[in-house]
Amino acid sequence: MSMRTDYRVLRAAAAAAIAAGFTLLPAASAQSTFDVTVLAGACVNCHGTDGRSLGGIPSIAGRPESILASQLRAFKSDNPPTNTTIMNRLVKGFSDDELAALARHFSQTKTQPLSSKKGL
């Protein structure tokens, strides 16, 4: 079989797979898991390390999951709360599953960091 014939066979197989509803490469949406700590990295820029803010922006560590999830969904909605600052623009890039995972992640984060020194 020549190179030209191999290419034609491959192209025909790809066309048949696409016509049948299959793709040759897995879709990104088919990924069933993601690392929430990578996603949380976007939050710590404003809300502090592990969601523990030291400034004027609220801490999110240890807040109830249902409240965090509700707030994130409200920010993502077409009518975000007034005085939202930039949260409505930040959460637009996250899927609902990612927002739920972030809410779970920060709700399970201790409000105070663990001290590595004994007696403190």
Sign of CA dihedral 43, 64, 59, 57: positive
pLDDT score at 27: 43
Give Cβ neighbours of residue 22 (< 8 Å, ≥ 6 apart).
Answer: none
Q: How far apart are the first and last CA of the chain?
A: 75
pLDDT score at 71: 95
pLDDT score at 54: 87
Residue ranges in the chain modelled with pLDDT below 70: 1-33, 113-120
Token duo for residue 13: 């197989």
Q: How far apart are CA 96 and CA 22, in angstroms?
A: 26
Least Cα distance to 68 among 114, 108, 112 occurs for 108
- Sketch out the chain's domains with CATH numbers: 33-112 (1.10.760.10)
Q: How far apart are CA 97 and CA 65, in angstroms?
A: 13
Task: Tell me the pTM.
Answer: 0.65
Q: How far apart are CA 10 and CA 17, in angstroms?
A: 10
pLDDT score at 85: 84
pLDDT score at 22: 46
**Is residue 83 within 8 Å of residue 75, measured between CB atoms?**
no
Tens-place pLDDT, residues 40-51 = 988 988 999 899
